[in-house]
Structure 1
Amino acid sequence: MSDLTTTIAALPYALPACPNARIALFALRRMGAQGLHDARASHALFTAFGQEFRRPLVLMRALMADLAGTAAGTIAIAPCCCARMTAAERTMLTILARVETAPDTARLLLGDLLGVRRVDAVLASVAAVATAFADDGRPICV
C-alpha cells in the first residue's frame, strides 16, 4: 500500500471549509494531544473570541474532559498540522453542528463515537460548546 493510500485511509476527510469548525477542531486536537490547559488552544480561542474567550475555552475543556472520561475506547485525533481529518474528528464536528437542530442525530452519533449508550451528560457539554460559539456569531457548520 502506498503512503498516499495509507494517509487517506487514516485521514479520510478534508478539513472543514467553515472557519468556526476549524477553530473547534484545532482546540480539540491541541487539548486532546497536549492536555486541557494547552496554551496554544487557549490562544486560538482568545484570538477568535477576543475578551469573550473564557466561556468557549472553559466549555471546550469541560467537553474534552467529558469525552475522555466517558469514551469506552480511544478517539482518534490527528496532529494539528494535518490538512485532513480522522473519521472521529469529522463525527465530532458533525455532532457540534447538529446538536441544536438535530439532537436525536447528534445523540446517536455521539453514542457511536464514544461506544456507550448513555451520552446525555456529554451531549449537554457538546450543546454548551456549540451555543458558546453560536452566541458569539461563530456557529459551527460542516
Structure 2
Amino acid sequence: MAETTTLSATLPHMLPACPHARIALFAVRRMGAHGLADARAAHTLLTVFGQDFRRPLLLLRTLMADLAAHASGQIAIAPCCCARMTAAEAALLTILAQIETAPDKVRYLMSDLLGVRRVDGVLASAAAVSAAFADEGRPISC
C-alpha cells in the first residue's frame, strides 16, 4: 500500500489524451534528461512535423533552456516511458495548452512552476512553442 501512495504522490496525473501534448511531453522529458541536443527528441519532432520540424524543435529547446535558467529550484520530470506525469509536467502542458485563452491562469501556473514572480520571458517562449505546434496543425490541448 505504501508504494501506491508514493507513486500517486510523485506522479499524480495521467498522461494527456491529446496526442500533440504527448509529443511535447516526450520531447520535454528527453531534453530534460539528456540535454537540449537529444537526438531522439529531434527525431520524434522530425517524424511528426516532417520537413517543418525545425521551428518546433528550436522553440522547445529555447523553452527548456529558459525554464532551467529561471527556475529557483528543480522541476520534476518523469522518465520517458512513464505512463503518468508529475505535477510540474501537468502544469507545463496546461500552460502550453491555455496560454492564448487563459493568460492570467498560465502566469500563475508558470510563477508556481518556476518559483519566481517575473515570468514574462519564459511565458513568451511557451507561447512560441504553443504557436509553432498550432501553426503546423498540431495544437496542444489538455
Superposition TM-score, scaled by structure 2 size: 0.98
Structure 2 letter corresponding to 1:4: T
Q: CA deviation at 1:56?
A: 0.1
Equivalent residue for 2:59?
Answer: 59
Q: Does 1:96 align with 2:96?
A: yes
Map 1:1-142 → 2, pairs under 5 A: 2-142=2-142
Question: Aligned equivalents of 1:123 and 1:20: distance in 2?
Answer: 19
| SS of equivalent to 2:45 | helix
Deviations 1:5-47 (A, max 9, x none): 2111100011000000000000000000100000000011111
5+ residue gaps, structure 1, are none
Q: Which runs of structure 1 show a deviation greater than 2 angstroms over 4 or more consecutive aligned residues?
A: none
Percent identity reads: 71
Q: CA deviation at 1:4?
A: 1.8
Question: Aligned equivalents of 1:130 and 1:112: distance in 2?
Answer: 19
**Aligned-residue RMSD, C-alpha:** 0.7
5+ residue gaps, structure 2, are none
Q: CA deviation at 1:65?
A: 0.2
